[in-house]
C-alpha cells in the first residue's frame, strides 16, 4: 500500500482504546487515558511484513529522538499469519529490530478493528487531547510524518 496517506478528517475523532490485547511487551498495559497529554504514534505492524520492516528504522528513530519530548510510540502487532501470534516469536522480532517501545499483541484484531484499520503498516498520530489527527498507510512520507510529530509536540498540552 505504498504511498497511500490521508490526514484525519477536519473534526478529529477520539482515539480508540487499546482493546483485546493479549500481551503487552516492553511495557505495562497502556490506555489512551493514561497517555493524555502525550503525543502518541500508534503503529500497526507484523514482523514478517516487508513493508513494515522497512518502516521500523524510522519508527524506532522517532521513538529515540522524541521520547523525552513527549512522544509515546506504541506498536500494535497484529498478525497476518498464525505463527505470528506466538509471543516468543514477537519477542525475538523485537530484539532483532531493536524495538524498545511498548508493543501490544493484538492477536484477535480487536484494536485493529477499533481503529477500522485495513493495512500493514499503518501509522496513526494522536494529539495531546487524545484525538487522531493524522494517519498514513504503507511506506513513505517519513519527512511529512516526522514534521507532524514535531508540530504536535510543539502544541500546548
Query: Distances in Å between the alpha carbon of 126 and those of 22, 42, 57, 91?
Result: 23, 8, 20, 26
In this prediction, residue 12 carries a pLDDT of 75
Q: What is the biggest distance separating any 2 CA atoms in the chain, rounded to whole angstroms?
A: 43
Its pTM stands at 0.92
Q: What's the pLDDT band for 1 if we cut at 50, 70, 90?
A: very low
pLDDT tens for residues 113-126?
Answer: 999 999 999 999 99
Rg (CA), the chain: 14
How many whole angstroms separate alpha carbon 74 and alpha carbon 34?
A: 13
DSSP secondary structure letters along 120-153: SSEEEEE-TTSEEEEEEESS--HHHHHHHHHHHH
With a cut of 60, say whether residue 3 has pLDDT above it.
no
Amino acid at each position: 500500500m505504498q504511498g497511500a496517506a490521508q490526514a484525519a478528517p477536519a473534526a478529529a475523532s477520539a482515539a480508540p482504546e487499546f482493546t483485546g490485547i493479549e500481551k503487552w511487551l516492553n511495557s505495562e498495559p497502556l490506555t489512551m487515558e493514561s497517555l493524555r497529554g502525550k503525543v502518541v504514534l500508534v503503529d500497526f505492524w507484523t514482523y514478517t511484513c516487508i513493508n513494515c520492516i522497512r518502516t521500523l528504522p524510522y519508527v524506532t528513530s522517532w521513538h529515540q529522538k522524541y521520547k523525552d519530548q513527549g512522544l509515546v510510540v506504541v506498536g500494535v502487532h497484529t498478525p497476518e499469519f498464525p505463527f505470528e501470534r506466538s509471543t516468543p516469536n514477537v519477542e525475538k522480532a523485537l530484539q532483532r529490530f531493536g524495538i524498545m517501545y511498548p508493543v501490544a499483541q493484538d492477536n484477535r484484531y480487536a484494536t485493529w478493528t477499533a481503529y477500522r484499520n485495513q493495512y500493514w503498516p499503518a501509522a496513526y498520530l494522536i494529539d495531546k487531547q487524545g484525538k487522531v489527527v493524522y494517519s498514513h498507510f504503507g511506506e513513505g512520507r517519513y519527512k511529512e510524518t516526522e514534521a507532524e510529530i514535531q508540530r504536535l509536540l510543539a502544541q500546548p498540552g
